[in-house]
Every structure is written in C-alpha cells, then in structure tokens.
Amino acid sequence: MNKKTITIIVGIIFLFIGSILVKQNYGEHKSHNSKQVGKTDKYAIQWTPSIQSALRKEMHSITKNYQELVSNLAQGEWNKVVENSHNIHSAFILKQELSEEDMDDLYRILPERFIEMDSKFHDHALKLAMAAQAKDGELASMYSGKMMEGCVSCHQVYAKNRFEGYSNHEKVSHEH
C-alpha cells in the first residue's frame, strides 16, 4: 500500500470517528446531569452562562473545522488543511466574546491542567498546518490524531456530564 492510500484510509477513519462524536455530542444533546445527581466531580468546572455559551460556539467551530480538515487531508487538499488547521489554532471565540469580568472569571475557574491540555491541542493544530504546508501527509495525519487524542482526554476529565460515554471514566488512562 502506498503513502497516499494509507493517508486516505486514515483520513476516512478520522472523519468517521469525528462524525460519530459530533452527532452524538452536539446533535440534539440532552443534559445527562440527572444521572449525576448527588455525585460531585472533582474535575467539574462551574461555567458561568456567558462563558459556557462562548465555549459551545468555540467547540462547534473547532468540530466543524476538524471534520473538514480530516476530509481535506484525506484528499490531499493541502491549502484547505492549512486553513482548517489555522482556524482551529486561532479559535479563541472565548476571548473575542467575553467581557473583562467574564475573562477574570474564566481564569479563576479554569484548572491549570485544562489550560495545559488546551494549549497542547492548539499547538498540535499549528504543527498540523505546518505539516500540510510541507505536504507531509504522514506528519499531518499524526498531528490530526494527536488533536483527537486531546479532545478525548479533555472530555474524559472535564466534560463527563456533557458526554455520556465518558461519564464512567474516573481519569484519563494515558496521554501522549
């Protein structure tokens, strides 16, 4: 099997997984808080309504660009992959839409680990863009996978109440 075929197969797999995650988690999502009554989660972040609204917009933007990125990567549409990667890297809707007071709240409520994971995710998006500029499908696919790992790791820890599939996870088993 040549590199192009492998890249296309990997891209299709990522697209499939991403589509399932989006459909399950951003479709007609109902809160699963009723299952969590009486439980406290030491990793739960108490979002303010304005921060939560901006965060959802940012997650939707990232999801949309990631899905397009995977499809574009599988097709070798390098310029589009670069654009999608840059859109993800610079997805700072939170900073664009929040008031100064909201930003103060954000920095007060975000755990250091969350900030580290988010920073690493955005760094992988930038590295993916650089790999796409170099038309290096193997490296771009690797960073696409690292981005997905970042999503899964963060959601397992900080979004258990939003994603039912992670509600039984106590902690991330490993991280690269």
Could you tell me if residue 42 is inside a domain?
Answer: no
| Residue appearing with tokens 């890249």 | 7
Could you tell me if residue 149 is inside a domain?
Answer: yes
Could you tell me if residue 176 is inside a domain?
Answer: yes
Tally of CB atoms within 10 A around 98: 20
Q: Given a cut of 50, is residue 71 above it in pLDDT? A: yes
Structural domain harbouring 153: 50-176
CATH code of the domain in which 120 resides = 1.20.120
Could you tell me if residue 130 is inside a domain?
Answer: yes
Number of folded domains that form the chain: 1
Query: What is the pLDDT, as a whole number, of residue 70?
Result: 96
Could you tell me if residue 175 is inside a domain?
Answer: yes
**Which is higher by pLDDT, 122 or 39?**
122
Q: Which two tokens stand for residue 131?
A: 């790999």
Could you tell me if residue 1 is inside a domain?
Answer: no
pLDDT, the chain, mean: 80
Could you tell me if residue 105 is inside a domain?
Answer: yes
135 Cβ contact list (under 8 Å, min separation 6): 76, 78
Q: Quick check: 153 and 130 in contact, CB under 8 A?
A: no
Highest mean pLDDT among 12-26, 73-87, 92-106: 73-87
Could you tell me if residue 135 is inside a domain?
Answer: yes
Query: What is the pLDDT, as a whole number, of residue 5?
Result: 59
The predicted model gives 29-58 an average pLDDT of 67
Q: Given a cut of 70, is residue 140 above it in pLDDT? A: yes
Cα–Cα separations (whole angstroms), residue 141 to 114, 130, 146: 24, 12, 9
Query: What is the pLDDT, as a whole number, of residue 91?
Result: 82
Q: Given a cut of 70, is residue 52 above it in pLDDT? A: yes
Bin 111: left if φ > 0, else alpha if -120 < ψ < 50, else beta: beta
Cα–Cα separations (whole angstroms), residue 56 to 50, 92, 94: 10, 12, 9
The predicted model gives 152-171 an average pLDDT of 82
